[in-house]
Amino acid sequence: MAGTRRVVGCTTMFRRFTLLASHLLIYACAVPTLVDITAHELLSVQDRVRDEVRASPSFEVAAQRYVQEIHAAFSGEIALARMFMTIPFDDLPEDLRRSAWKVVEGQALAAQIKPTTPVLTLLGSHGAEAEWCDRKASRGHAAIPLCSHSFVDSIPMVARMLQEMGVDLGLKLDTERYVKNVLGVGWVGLFYVEDARSARDTKGRRVIPAAEFVDRHNIRTVFGLGKVYANGAITAFIAFSTKVIPRAKVELLVPTVNLFKASTNELVQSKRYFTPGDGMGPA
């Protein structure tokens, strides 16, 4: 009798294991990829982005929810997803101001940072590594002041991103007139590097300078999508993929950044960039 119970128990456990394995296999097969995503799957991603982002209490929360959703939707090919935004230096909390100063302190550019200087600020980060899932853990990318053409040009990826997105490296980002008359409120910027291993700029520099990061994590295509707000702020979503993704497939994500902007317009206009009480903004 005891032997029979053990056999029955083992059979039951085996069936449960088989059922669980089949569910995991179905889930794995159901994860879409940008290369072969269907219209229905794309609409599903858009719906999840809308549901996650709307009603966010601050821009940083919305940005984090967006990158988490995009990374989850395409986890098989996106290793790291990030969201940046240009915020005037004067509107940054103290720790991010210090980060911005630190970026330029060795280049005698501190005097060029004004209260209105746009600072490319990391507000959302999510990826395959635990440290990538906390924007505050970023080293060197937390706050990049766009204080001069020469300084921006010294950062190949940022320079290429802004150029490809159509942003003037004369750095007129702090003027609403430039945004409205040159970019236009319906503007969508696209940044695309087909293969991070081999892409070089006109000066022969690697567009994605972090060679160790690229090699260690098998990074191939790097792409970004940008949107502009009425007050002149620019937000940029950047993704690092482990596969080569055609440019046309990247464009499929444009509706998601449009949804993101629509859901965060009020937050930007009211300057609710950071969540009160988290140490990053006024309580």
Tell me, what's the pLDDT at 166? Answer: 73
3-class state of residue 218 by DSSP:
coil
Give per-residue pLDDT as tens, 76-135: 899 999 999 999 999 999 999 999 988 887 666 766 788 988 999 999 999 999 999 999
Tell me, what's the pLDDT at 202? Answer: 86
Contact between residue 75 and residue 28 where contact means Cβ atoms under 8 Å apart: no
Tell me, what's the pLDDT at 108? Answer: 65
Contact between residue 221 and residue 194 where contact means Cβ atoms under 8 Å apart: yes
Percentage of residues in the chain with pLDDT exceeding 90? 54
How far is it, in rounded angstroms, from Cα 238 to Cα 67?
A: 9
Burial bucket for residue 156 (CB in 10 Å: 0-12, 13-18, 19+): middle
Tell me, what's the pLDDT at 113? Answer: 85
- CATH of the domain spanning 34-269, picked from 3.40.50.300, 3.30.450.40, 1.10.10.60, 1.10.3210.10: 3.30.450.40
**pLDDT tens digits in sequence order for the chain, 283 residues long:** 545 445 444 555 545 454 444 444 434 445 678 888 888 999 999 999 999 999 899 999 999 999 999 999 999 899 999 999 999 999 999 999 999 988 887 666 766 788 988 999 999 999 999 999 999 888 778 999 988 888 888 888 998 888 887 776 555 544 444 444 444 556 788 999 999 999 998 889 999 999 999 999 999 999 999 998 888 888 999 999 999 999 999 999 999 999 999 999 999 999 999 987 654 443 3
Q: What is the pTM of this model?
A: 0.82
The amino acid occupying position 279 is: G
Tell me, what's the pLDDT at 278? Answer: 56
Burial bucket for residue 186 (CB in 10 Å: 0-12, 13-18, 19+): exposed
Question: Which is nearest to 208 in space by CA: 161, 170, 253, 146?
Answer: 161
How far is it, in rounded angstroms, from Cα 76 to Cα 149?
A: 37
Tell me, what's the pLDDT at 11? Answer: 52
How far is it, in rounded angstroms, from Cα 67 to Cα 63?
A: 6
Q: What angle do CA 255, 258, 263 make, to 5 degrees?
A: 125
Contact between residue 75 and residue 243 where contact means Cβ atoms under 8 Å apart: no
Q: What are the residues whose beta carbons fall under 8 Å from the beta carbon of 262, sequence distance 6 or more?
A: none
Tell me, what's the pLDDT at 47? Answer: 95
Tell me, what's the pLDDT at 246? Answer: 95
Backbone angles phi, psi at 240, to 5 degrees: -115, 115
